[in-house]
């Protein structure tokens, strides 16, 4: 199984190298082929030099052989490195392209992030393998050529030299099998350490930790994860050293046997000297062969993760937008997160029609974001239906379904690109500058050049939390899909700007469906319908005034304080 996986990895890595860097692969193969022939030639030439009467010809040959070994090895190493680097960069670029095509439902699964990170890590061993199949063939060819050269002197010796390949290959197979189990554990500890380190160095969490003075606790978590990784690594290294040592001892015995067989076979002094020189080179070739084989076997499980992941994501960019949607609805939807004891939503029905502004309200954790994710298709209901224009959204392809929505999530992205690129992300197609300007109208960025770089870490403009949220809203404006879903769209925005935004939403709402999650009472006055989600169900629905009439209801209790504050302020 391991050997089969190794062969598959070797074949696929050769195909990758051929696709991405054919010139370097060809050069590398030629150099490796030359290097494979030289040790055998050396054996024959040494024997001739000592045993035949002709000195000059073998001496000249040996000068060429020995003289070219060093530069050929150097150049070949350089070319191998270059090939590796090219392949690594290409694989990482390919992976970014694949990540860009992941759907929200796929991203909602915890295994996706794990697979993506494992694939990213896999690019390293996969690119390391780039030249290894060639190296393996070259080392094997070296051994065969040596075997033939030595066998021409003494058959048993030649066969023993060839047999000496076996212990190393076996040891590396065992080591790789052990590493295939150990590496995922190391990678998991390393992932945790990397995550904790990011919290220390990224601006927002880093600053929060620095202000709290608690960074040392996170550093402790980093140290613990690394200590666990080191423990696994140490064990792997100890075992690997033992296997290698064992293999080396058996190899030495086999080579010793080859030399004894030579002497007992009555070889001449020249032949014996030639065979000794050959075995020294042979040992080196065998080490290389084992190393190349080991790298391929080690990379095989990781390469399999990478390829499985890459192949599991559909090809081609997503396009298209539905600008006019008449209605969307959740019909008697029940949904529970995997492993949760209780469903998060039970028998929930919500509807929004074109021209309406609809709000979802409820305490933290009530299930508002879950309802939104069910609507856009990032989650699938356990029972009930999601309807778009009366049709079952569950039957639509995910791309087709997403084309109906512009979704502003709570944790909106702070994309530190140029202003043009950051806002242009609102639509999947190429967008024009005037369209971007329109989307930015009325915001702080209305008059900024579109080339403005955002984010101080790139030498660009620093932007406040509320300003980032306005850019996120501008993306939704630019997108202008048939259904706008805004999950707390003004949570970081000042009261004055919030007022402008909601007035603008009302003014422009005629041709679309607008669904808003809001915790602010006054913004709800504008709504055509409010759904109060409580304890996983729709507890109430109606307009603001409807819901406020009975002060004992959930809604009135939720917003009574805010209402008082707002009324007293407006007086």
Q: Tell me the window of 113-121, 348-356, 357-365, 448-456 that interacts with ligand ATP (CB under 6 A).
A: 357-365
- Rounded CA-CA distance 348/418 in Å is 42
Smallest gap from residue 415 Cβ to ligand ATP (A): 22
User: Is residue 441 classed as helix, strand or coil in its secondary structure?
Assistant: coil
Number of residues lying near ligand ATP (CB under 6 A): 12
Identify the residue among 367, 377, 424, 482 touching ligand ATP (CB under 6 A).
367
Q: Which residue lies nearer to ligand ATP by CB, 76 or 369?
A: 369
Q: Are 519 and 498 in contact (CB under 8 A)?
A: no
Identify the residue among 370, 469, 523, 541 touching ligand ATP (CB under 6 A).
370
Q: CB neighbours of 328 closer than 8 A, spacing ≥ 6?
A: 351, 352, 375, 386, 387, 388, 389, 393, 404, 483, 513, 515
Q: Tell me the window of 40-48, 127-135, 254-262, 358-366 that interacts with ligand ATP (CB under 6 A).
A: 358-366
Q: Which residue lies nearer to ligand ATP by CB, 273 or 363?
A: 363
Q: Which residue lies nearer to ligand ATP by CB, 289 or 361?
A: 361
* Window 388-417: residues binding ligand ATP (CB under 6 A): 410
Contact letters for ligand ATP, residues 305-344 (x by CB under 6 A): --------------------------------x--x---x
- Rounded CA-CA distance 92/549 in Å is 59
Q: Decide: is 368 part of the binding site for ligand ATP (CB under 6 A).
A: yes
- Rounded CA-CA distance 469/446 in Å is 14
* Window 139-178: residues binding ligand ATP (CB under 6 A): none
Q: Decide: is 346 part of the binding site for ligand ATP (CB under 6 A).
A: no
Smallest gap from residue 11 Cβ to ligand ATP (A): 39
Q: Decide: is 470 part of the binding site for ligand ATP (CB under 6 A).
A: no
Q: Decide: is 366 part of the binding site for ligand ATP (CB under 6 A).
A: yes
Q: Decide: is 231 part of the binding site for ligand ATP (CB under 6 A).
A: no
Q: Tell me the window of 216-224, 230-238, 364-372, 476-484 that interacts with ligand ATP (CB under 6 A).
A: 364-372
Q: Which residue lies nearer to ligand ATP by CB, 354 or 554?
A: 554
Q: Which residue lies nearer to ligand ATP by CB, 107 or 223?
A: 107
Smallest gap from residue 322 Cβ to ligand ATP (A): 25
User: What token pair was written down for 154?
Assistant: 């003494």
Q: Which residue lies nearer to ligand ATP by CB, 187 or 378?
A: 378
Report the DSSP beta bridge partners of residue 198: none
Cα angle 409, 414, 420 (rounded to 5 degrees) comes to: 110
- Rounded CA-CA distance 160/431 in Å is 70
Q: Which residue lies nearer to ligand ATP by CB, 141 or 532?
A: 532
Smallest gap from residue 486 Cβ to ligand ATP (A): 13
Smallest gap from residue 330 Cβ to ligand ATP (A): 13
Q: Which residue lies nearer to ligand ATP by CB, 153 or 348?
A: 348
Q: At what angle do helices 269-312 and 132-151 cross, to 10 degrees?
A: 160
Q: Which residue lies nearer to ligand ATP by CB, 288 or 469?
A: 469
Tokens 């069910």 -> residue? 374
Secondary structure, 3-state, 312-357: HCCCCCCCCCCCCCCEEEEEEEEECCCCCCCCCEEEEEEEEECCCE
Q: Tell me the window of 27-35, 127-135, 286-294, 367-375 that interacts with ligand ATP (CB under 6 A).
A: 367-375
Q: Which residue lies nearer to ligand ATP by CB, 79 or 379?
A: 379
- Rounded CA-CA distance 464/252 in Å is 69
Strands of the 327-335 sheet, one edge to the other: 345-353, 327-335, 383-388, 391-392
Strands of the 357-361 sheet, one edge to the other: 405-408, 483-487, 513-517, 357-361, 529-534, 537-542
Q: In what helix (H) or strand (E) does residue 168 lie, and over which residues does it extend? A: helix 165-201
Q: Which residue lies nearer to ligand ATP by CB, 336 or 394?
A: 336
Smallest gap from residue 363 Cβ to ligand ATP (A): 7
Smallest gap from residue 108 Cβ to ligand ATP (A): 7
User: What token pair was written down for 120?
Assistant: 């990213």
Q: Decide: is 362 part of the binding site for ligand ATP (CB under 6 A).
A: yes
Smallest gap from residue 369 Cβ to ligand ATP (A): 3
Q: Which residue lies nearer to ligand ATP by CB, 196 or 517?
A: 517
Q: How far is CA 231 from CA 174, 176, 196, 228, 457, in A?
A: 20, 18, 19, 5, 36
Tokens 């307009």 -> residue? 543
* Window 37-66: residues binding ligand ATP (CB under 6 A): none
Q: How far is CA 5 from CA 2, 37, 140, 186, in A?
A: 5, 29, 19, 21
Q: 379, 288, 393, 272: which is closest to 331 by C-alpha?
A: 393
- Rounded CA-CA distance 222/192 in Å is 7
Smallest gap from residue 24 Cβ to ligand ATP (A): 45
Q: Which residue lies nearer to ligand ATP by CB, 342 or 496?
A: 342
Q: Decide: is 369 part of the binding site for ligand ATP (CB under 6 A).
A: yes
Q: In what helix (H) or strand (E) does residue 385 lie, and over which residues does it extend? A: strand 383-388
Point out which residues bind ligand ATP (CB under 6 A). 337, 340, 344, 362, 364-370, 410
């Amino acid at each position: 199984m391991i050997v089969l996986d190794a062969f598959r990895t070797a074949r696929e890595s050769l195909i990758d190298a051929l696709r991405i860097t054919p010139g370097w692969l060809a050069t590398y193969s030629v150099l490796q082929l030359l290097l494979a022939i030289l040790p055998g030639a050396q054996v024959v030439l040494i024997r001739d030099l000592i045993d035949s009467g002709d000195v000059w010809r073998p001496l000249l040959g040996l000068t060429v052989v020995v003289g070219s070994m060093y530069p050929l090895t150097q150049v070949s190493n350089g070319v191998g490195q270059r090939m590796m680097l090219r392949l690594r960069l290409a694989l990482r670029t390919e992976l970014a392209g694949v990540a860009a095509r992941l759907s929200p439902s796929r991203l909602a699964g915890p295994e996706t992030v794990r697979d993506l990170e494992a694939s990213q890590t896999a690019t390293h061993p996969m690119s390391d393998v780039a030249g290894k199949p060639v190296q393996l063939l070259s080392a094997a060819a070296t051994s065969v050529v040596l075997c033939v050269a030595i066998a021409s002197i003494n058959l048993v010796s030649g066969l023993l030299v060839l047999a000496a390949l076996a212990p190393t290959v076996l040891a590396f197979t065992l080591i790789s099998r052990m590493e295939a189990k150990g590496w995922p554990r190391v990678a998991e500890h390393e992932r945790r350490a990397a995550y904790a380190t990011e919290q220390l160095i990224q601006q927002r969490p880093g600053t929060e930790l620095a202000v709290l003075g608690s960074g040392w606790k996170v550093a402790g978590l980093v140290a613990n994860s690394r200590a666990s990784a080191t423990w696994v690594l140490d064990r792997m290294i100890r075992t690997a050293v033992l296997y290698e040592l064992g293999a080396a001892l058996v190899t030495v015995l086999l080579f010793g046997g080859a030399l004894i067989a030579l002497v007992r076979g009555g070889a001449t002094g020249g032949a014996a000297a030639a065979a000794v020189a050959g075995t020294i080179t042979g040992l080196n070739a065998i080490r290389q062969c084992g190393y190349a084989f080991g790298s391929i076997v080690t990379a095989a499980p990781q390469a399999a993760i990478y390829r499985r992941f890459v192949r599991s994501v559909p090809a081609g960019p997503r396009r298209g937008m539905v600008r006019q949607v008449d209605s969307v609805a959740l019909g008697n939807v029940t949904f529970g997160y995997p492993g949760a004891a209780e469903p998060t939503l039970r028998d929930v029905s919500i509807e929004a029609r074109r021209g309406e502004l609809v709000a979802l309200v409820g305490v933290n954790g009530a299930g508002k974001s879950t309802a939104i994710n069910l609507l856009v298709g990032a989650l699938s209901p356990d029972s009930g239906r999601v309807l778009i224009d009366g049709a079952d959204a569950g039957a639509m392809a995910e791309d087709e379904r997403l084309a109906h929505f512009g979704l502003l999530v709570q944790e909106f992205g702070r994309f530190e690109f140029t202003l043009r690129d950051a806002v242009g992300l609102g639509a999947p197609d190429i967008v024009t500058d005037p369209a971007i300007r329109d989307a930015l109208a009325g915001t702080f960025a209305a008059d900024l050049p579109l080339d403005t770089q955002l984010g101080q870490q790139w030498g660009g403009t620093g932007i406040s939390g509320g300003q980032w949220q306005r850019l996120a809203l501008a993306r939704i404006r630019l997108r202008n899909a048939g259904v706008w879903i805004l999950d707390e769209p003004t949570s970081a925005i000042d009261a004055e700007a919030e007022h402008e935004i909601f007035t603008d939403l009302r003014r422009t709402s005629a041709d679309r469906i607008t669904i808003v999650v809001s915790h602010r009472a006054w913004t709800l006055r504008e709504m055509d319908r409010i759904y109060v989600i409580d304890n996983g169900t729709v507890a109430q629905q109606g307009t603001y005034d409807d819901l406020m009439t009975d002060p004992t209801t959930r809604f009135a209790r939720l917003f009574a304080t805010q209402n008082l504050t707002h009324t007293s302020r407006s007086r």
